[in-house]
Amino acid sequence: MSFDLQATRAEFPLLALAKPPLHYLDNAATSQIHQSALQAMADHDMFRRANIMRGTYRLAEAATTAYEEARARVARFLNAFTPNEVVFTSGATSALNLVAHSFGESLRSGDEVIVSLAEHHSNLVPWQLLRQRTGIILKFLPVTADGRIDATALAGLATSRCRLIAVTHCSNVTGAVTDIAAIVAAARSVGARVLVDGAQQVQHGPVDVQALGIDFYAFSGHKCYGPTGIGVLWARHALLDAMPPFLAGGGMVGEVTPEGSTFARPPQRFEAGTPPIAQAVGLGAALSWLTTLPWGDIRRHEQRLLQALLAGLARKPGVRILGPTDLEARHPVVSFDIAGLHPHDVCQVLDRHGVALRGGHHCAQPLMQHFGLDGANRASIALYNSLADIEALLDGLDDVIEVLR
């Protein structure tokens, strides 16, 4: 099967119906939702809407089956060892906080956690809060001049007290893809676990957690053509089994008495209350669709657009590209600064041209500080983007520079 851009774009209702055309380049924040996910959620709520797990009537059993099938679809997308390693959360932020709280319960004062300076705040602030609660030592993996995580620095950072290394799979600012193999090798040499924030990776194709050799993986549905309000934590089952609950309530318990409670086995232990059932079903549909696509063709398509964007930005006066300026080990996420212009002003002018772009610090202030900036503009390309989107952005920037300077 070859990749058909126009047919694929038609499967995203907002893009297909937008008048005038929408040049949507904010995919690192939220991708558009695929029609399969919309249809799956609509079908679920029209024909199977009921609460799950404890209902003994047919409708509730059908809802439970749909929810667990969604879990199995996520497991297949990630090549998990078993669906019971998949925990549904409200998003990547919730998944990362779950690990910081539950796995963090096993850490003691003086234990070390290493994160990088390229992390989204969701993979930094929870560890800072854990440091306040428990006295762990938080160490920072530096970045190179062009913003890549410097895995070679682990040789001097990772000690026998290191318990976890937590890094992004792909930077939401520079698009740089982390050398996970080097991170895992360094972690294993000192007996540490590895957590990967995959929020920016999953829209670019299926992930193989077994091949990565990691321990935890987190991502959000709304960044991989699925619904908002749903995310995933994958973790090795032995780790989940040893972790205490993060949230408490219905569905995650075994027996409750006035004196105390016992807890369900994973993944139910970490899914207190009524979960986002329809959203899980929608995410399962989106991920199943992703697994059918010709990813070799799609990656070549995305690289062509990325190359055109990088070349076009390099020709604009006063524009500075943050991060790598080549195509090596990166996804099509490009942040840039225009000297003397505030990112929010840039985005507002581009909006007049039908271009949707993100401006700000992108919840990555330490990395912005590395580049000496408070914020930047970011264009992020998805599989449904076209050369027309890139050209609209580049033409719009001419107007930006004329109007704002």
Which position has the token pair 């099938």?
69
Q: What is the chain's Cα-based Rg?
A: 22
Q: Which of 310, 74, 86, 26 lies closest to 202, judged by CA?
A: 74
Per DSSP, 105 falls in state G
How far from each other are the two terminal CA atoms of the chain, in whole angstroms? 48
Q: Among the options 162, 170, 347, 363, which is catalytic?
A: 363
Q: Are 386 and 3 in contact (CB under 8 A)?
A: no
Please list, in sequence order, all residues whose beta carbon lies within 8 angstroms of the beta carbon of residue 25, skipping any fewer than 6 positions away.
Answer: 355, 356, 357, 379, 380, 381, 385, 389, 393
Any catalytic annotation for residue 363?
Answer: yes
Please list, in sequence order, all residues whose beta carbon lies within 8 angstroms of the beta carbon of residue 87, skipping any fewer than 6 positions away.
Answer: 95, 98, 232, 233, 234, 235, 240, 266, 267, 270, 271
Q: Is the dihedral of CA 220, 222, 223, 224 positive or negative?
A: positive
Structure tokens that stand for 258 in this block = 């006035």
Structure tokens that stand for 10 in this block = 């038609």
Catalytic residues: 363
